[in-house]
Amino acid sequence: MTIEAFDRVDLDGTGIDRITEAEVVAVVRDALNRGRGGRIITPNIDILRRAQTDAEAREHLDDADLIVADGMPLIWASRLGGTPLPERVAGSSLIWSLSAGLARDKRSIFVIGGAPANDGAARAADRLERECPGLRVAGTLCPDFGFEQDPIAYEEFCAKVVDARPDLVFVGLGFPKQERMIGRLRGDLPQSWFIGCGAAVNFVAGDVARAPRWMQRTGLEWAHRLGVEPRRLAGRYLRHDAPYALKLLARAPAQRVRARD
């Protein structure tokens, strides 16, 4: 199985791979066996919206080897547009499925992110290692907020990842901070895979509760996140992302008509 085997569905100028979560794991395992690294991005509505006007967001998407839909509105828009994506593939789920897949090959991960006060990255990595027998933890980093403002500290962190030579790096620093770090590391680790996984490290560490499965399936995970972190997320979700999601869904049927023509 190769990356080139999957078609992409266009959603507002961004190509999303028509791929399942199980297929993502298979692609990464196959690529690692061939000595090929890569980068996975899991855009949600917020990232898709930013890509319309933000050159940096567009650059990160263009640099990705796999782009998978982390958000039910993207799945709904693809269905309305007549080119349905098979399922939502969330970074918060991939941290588990990729770890389990790499465990079967006795491969290694590096975990970056989590709550600095109690070393969330280390606790997340310990849990993944414990629940995925065979998985090796190459290292963890749980940098303080604002660490990227110190060029020396930033390079020291990157050097630790490079020296560890992991097979897969989970970077849970939030978009676009995590994508910037991935961009910095890729050149030094061409045979490694990278995924920006946002809050997934906090979920695995147990510091933040993920939404119940029924909310994930019905597209209401955003409401759960908003309830947990209203001060941080209210402006982004309600003022920017919700209106954009409605516009995306409203325009989707026209995509189906254009495809027929």
Phi-psi region of 71 (alpha: psi -120 to 50; beta: other; left: phi over 0): left
Evaluate whether residue 80 is within a structural domain: yes
State the residue range of the domain holding 145: 3-215
Residue 223 lies in a domain: no
Q: How many CB atoms lie within 10 A of CB 115?
A: 17
Q: Which segments of the chain have a pLDDT < 50? A: 1-2, 257, 261
Beta partners for residue 64, in sequence order: none
Confirm if 102 and 167 have CB atoms less than 8 A apart: yes
Task: Decide if 238 is inside a domain.
Answer: no
Identify whether 257 is part of a domain.
Answer: no
Task: Kindly state whether residue 247 falls inside one of the protein's structural domains.
Answer: no
Is residue 20 in a domain?
Answer: yes
Mode of pairing for the β-strands spanning 38-41 and 66-67: parallel
Structure tokens at 18: 């028509």
131: amino acid identity, one letter: E
Determine the pLDDT at residue 260: 52
Computed on alpha carbons and rounded to an integer, the radius of gyration of the chain in Å comes to 18
Q: Which of 210, 26, 204, 200 is nearest to 130 (CA)?
A: 204
Residue 181 structure tokens: 């770090």
Look at residue 79 and tell me if it is in a domain. Answer: yes
Q: How far is CA 171 from CA 96, 100, 146, 183, in A?
A: 14, 17, 15, 11
In a domain, 253, yes or no: no
Give the CATH number of the domain where residue 17 resides: 3.40.50.10700
Q: How many domains does the chain have?
A: 1
pLDDT at 20: 97
- Rounded to 5 degrees, what are φ and ψ at 131? -95, -5
The neighbouring-strand residues paired with 40 are 66, 195
Q: How many residues does the chain have?
A: 261
